Amino acid sequence: MKKTDNGGMSRRTLLKGSAITAGFIGTQVVTGFPAVHADEPITLRYLSTATNQSPAIAAKAKEITGINIEYVTVTTDDVTKRIITQPDSFDLVDTEYFSLRNLIPSGNLMGIDAKKVKLVDKLATAMTKGEVDGKKIGDQGTAPHKVFYLEKQRGKEFAKEPTEWITLIPTTYNADTLGIRPDLIKRPIESWAELLNPEFKGKAAILNIPSIGIMDAAMVNEAMGKVQYGDKGNMTKEEIDKTIATLIEAKKAGQFRAFWTDFNESVNLMASGETVIQSMWSPAVTAVRLKGIPCTFQPLKEGYRAWASGFGLPKTLKGKKLDAAYEFINWFLSGWAGAYLNRQGYYAAVLETAKENMQPYEWAFWMEGKPAEKDIMGPDGGLLEKAGTVRDGGSYNTRMGAVACWNSIMDENAYMIQKWNEFIAA
C-alpha cells in the first residue's frame, strides 16, 4: 500500500520523453537474443493492480502456452502513472478503460490488431457496443465502447466506428454498488440516498479515490434529488460544486466514520462494524463474508456504477515478445481464465468460452442468478456460498443491464481534484 515511487516523478518524466532510451530498449529485445536461445521461454512483465492478478492464472498460462508471466503489482493510480512515465517497464498492461482518456493521448500504448485476436467477435457486447442482451445500458462516464477503437494503430484519437485497432482487450468488468451490514441495519436498503441518511450518522464511508468517489457521490446526489446531471461521468463545474457541497454538509454533520483508499481498509471498516454502509468493491464484500460476517453487495434502484479493465500493449513491444503477448491474450480469452474470473464474482470478456469451463450449477449461480444447487466454491477451492443462496443483484443480464454510469475521467478533472481536496479539508 505504501507507494514506493513518489520521489522521482520529475526525473522520470524527463526520461520518459527520451526516445533514445525507448529505441535502445526496443533494439535489445529484437537483436539482443543470440539465435541459440531462440527456444528459451519468453517472459512477459504484466503490469496491473493486485486484484487483476492471480498466481493460478499465471501458472496455467505457463503450462499451456509456455510463456512466463511476471506480475508487476501497483495501485490503480500507479498503473496509469507507470504507463505515462515509464512505458518501457512492462510488456503487457491490464488497466482500466477510464484511464484511456489520459493514456491514449500520451502515445505510449499502441492499438491491438483485431485480426490477431481470435475471439474478437465474441467479446461481450457490454464492452464493445454498450449493450446487454440486445438492450442499451447506461452510457454516462467513460463507457468502454466509447474508447474501444483507435483511428490508426499509433493514433491518439478514438474512432467512433469499429476499426481494426483496439485500445484494450477486456479482461474483467463489473458493476459496483454500496456494501451494507444487513445484520446491523435490519431493514431493506433500496437507494443510493441511504448513504447520507442521518440514520447512519458516523457509520457511513465513501472511498477517497477522487475519480471514483465523485461518481458514488453523484449517484447519491441524484438519488436524493439534489442535482440532475447531464452526464455524471463528465460533470460541469457547477455540478461538481453542488456534488461536493452535499458531501461537505454531510461530513460536517458527522455522517462519515472514515474514508478509505484501499481494498483492505474497506474490508476492515465493514468487518469491525465501524461502518454499516459504504462504497465497496465486490471482492471486498466476499472477503468480509469469508470472515463469517454478514455483508451484502446491495442492488439499488438507481443502478450500478460500472468499471472495466483490459489488456494494452506498450508502443515499444516488438518481435517475439509481441507475438507472445498476442498468444497470451488469445489464451486468456479462451475460457480457463474467464471461468476463474467469473468464480471471483467478476465478469469474463468472452462469456461463451468461460461457460464451457464452468460446471452448469456454477454458471447458473454466478451468471443466471439462480439459487446455488450445491455449495459454491471460490476459485481457490474455499467455500464461498452455501447451497440455496442467490448472488446479490442476480443474473448477469440484471446486474450489467442496470448499469447507470461508468468510472471516468472528466474534462474538468483538475477542478474536481481541487474541490475534492476542499471536501477532505472541510
Partner 1 sequence: MLDEKSRWTPYWQAAPLAIVFLVFFVLPLAITFMVSFWTYTGYSIEPALVGDNYASAFDKCIDSLPDLCTTFRTYLSTLKFCLMVWLITLVLGFTIAYYLVFEIKSPTTRIVLALLTTIPFWTSNVIRMISWIPLLGRNGLVNQALMGAGITHEPVDWLLYSSFSVTLSLVHINTVFMIVPILNSMSRIDKSLIEAAYDNGASAWQTIWNVIVPLSKTGIAIGSIFVITVVMGDFISIGLMGGQQIASAGKVIETQITALQFPIAAANAIVLLAAVLMIIWTLLRFVDIRKEL
Q: Does 417 bind partner 1 (CB under 8 A)?
A: yes
Contacts of partner 1 in 352-391 (CB under 8 A): none
x/- mask, partner 1, residues 58-77, rule CB under 8 A, reads -------------------x
Q: Does 294 bind partner 1 (CB under 8 A)?
A: no
CA distance 258 to 265: 10
CA distance 193 to 212: 17
Q: Does 163 bind partner 1 (CB under 8 A)?
A: no
Interface residue with partner 1, options 65, 67, 81, 222 (CB under 8 A): 81
CA distance 150 to 169: 12
Cβ 287 to partner 1 shortest distance, Å: 17
The residues near 79 (Cβ < 8 Å, ≥ 6 apart) are 47, 48, 49, 93, 94, 95, 96, 99
**246: number of Cβ within 10 Å:** 18
Its sign, for the CA torsion 28, 32, 33, 35, is positive
- 3-state SS assignment for residue 182: helix
Q: At what angle do helices 413-425 and 210-223 cross, to 10 degrees?
A: 80
Q: Does 96 bind partner 1 (CB under 8 A)?
A: no
Could you tell me which stretch among 19-27, 143-151, 267-275, 304-312 binds partner 1 (CB under 8 A)?
267-275
x/- mask, partner 1, residues 12-51, rule CB under 8 A, reads -xx-------------------------------------
Are 381 and 207 a contacting pair, CB within 8 Å? no
Alpha helices, H only, 42-180? 55-65, 76-85, 100-106, 125-128
Q: Does 292 bind partner 1 (CB under 8 A)?
A: no
**If residue 298 lies in a helix (H) or strand (E), which one and from where to where?**
strand 296-298
Interface residue with partner 1, options 4, 7, 20, 31 (CB under 8 A): 7
Could you tell me which stretch among 29-37, 101-109, 191-199, 291-299 binds partner 1 (CB under 8 A)?
101-109
Query: Virtual CA dihedral for 91, 96, 98, 103, nearest 10 degrees?
Result: -10
Q: Does 421 bind partner 1 (CB under 8 A)?
A: yes
CA distance 84 to 72: 16
CA distance 207 to 266: 8
Q: Does 272 bind partner 1 (CB under 8 A)?
A: yes
Q: Which is nearer to partner 1, 90 or 256 (CB)?
A: 256
Q: Does 106 bind partner 1 (CB under 8 A)?
A: yes
Cβ 247 to partner 1 shortest distance, Å: 11
Q: Which is nearer to partner 1, 77 or 356 (CB)?
A: 77
Cβ 208 to partner 1 shortest distance, Å: 5
Q: Does 103 bind partner 1 (CB under 8 A)?
A: yes
Interface residue with partner 1, options 68, 236, 261, 397 (CB under 8 A): 261
Q: Which is nearer to partner 1, 210 or 303 (CB)?
A: 210
Could you tell me which stretch among 22-30, 103-111, 188-196, 354-362 binds partner 1 (CB under 8 A)?
103-111
Phi and psi at residue 268, in whole multiples of 5°? -65, -45
What are the CA-CA distances from residue 292 to residues 383, 385, 386 (Å)? 11, 11, 12
Binding site for partner 1 (CB under 8 A): 1-2, 6-11, 13-14, 77-78, 80-81, 84, 101-103, 105-106, 202, 208, 210-211, 251, 256-261, 268, 272-274, 409, 413-414, 417-418, 420-422, 424-426
